[in-house]
Amino acid sequence: MDDVDRDLLALLQTDATRTYADLGREIGLSAGAAHERVRKLRAAGVIRRTTVDVDPAAVDLDVLAFVTVDSVAWIGDSGPAFAAITEIQEAHIVAGTASVLLKVRTTSTGALQDVLRRIHAIAGVSSTQATIALDTLFERPVPTGGGTPARDGAEPDRR
């Protein structure tokens, strides 16, 4: 992966609906060259999927909580059990006092309580601790190291 690929990734994370012509124009490639690079990034698994970013409040998911999960044994095999709880957006095995960190979105604190009950029913879970976010200051896309002209004012180096 080179700087051109990184620039493409940065642009696509900002707006994945851009045409290949627009992407190419932005970084100094033809539409065909931009399309081929994106195709290769998909084939290599760098681009895992194309999706939309939905405002949680617009779909009544007003409660955001980060839940730490403690366990009595290694809980790494519990991924499918966590994935079955649709309110869990992310699950990460972590180092520290907890075993797993979950990002959970629900419609209410009552719905969060129900999710916590379902988490407690997973084999190996001994306790949870939920921290409710009051507001989100910002969220960032995955950093690619791309420095597109639109973002940093520099001309791309296309040697």
Domain ranges of the chain: 3-51, 56-133
Give residue 6's identity as a one-letter amino acid code.
R
- 2-58 pLDDT, tens per residue? 999 999 999 999 999 999 999 999 999 999 999 999 999 999 999 999 988 899 999
- 62-97 pLDDT, tens per residue? 999 999 999 988 887 899 999 999 999 999 999 988
- Phi and psi at 112, nearest 5°, equal -60, -40
| CATH fold for domain 56-133 | Alpha-Beta Plaits (3.30.70)
Please determine whether the domains at 3-51 and 56-133 fall in the same fold group of CATH: no
Choosing among 1.20.58.220, 1.10.10.10, 1.10.287.1080, 3.40.50.300, the CATH entry for 3-51 is 1.10.10.10
Q: Tokens for 71? A: 């366990």
- 137-158 pLDDT, tens per residue? 998 888 888 765 444 444 444 4
Rounded CA separation 65/102 (Å):
8
| Contacts for 2 with CB less than 8 Å, ≥ 6 apart | none
Categorize the per-residue pLDDT at 109 as very low, low, confident or very high, splitting at 50, 70 and 90.
very high
Give residue 146's identity as a one-letter amino acid code.
G
* DSSP line for 90-154: EEEE-SSS-SEEEEEEESSHHHHHHHHHHHHTSTTEEEEEEEEES------PPP-----HHHH-P
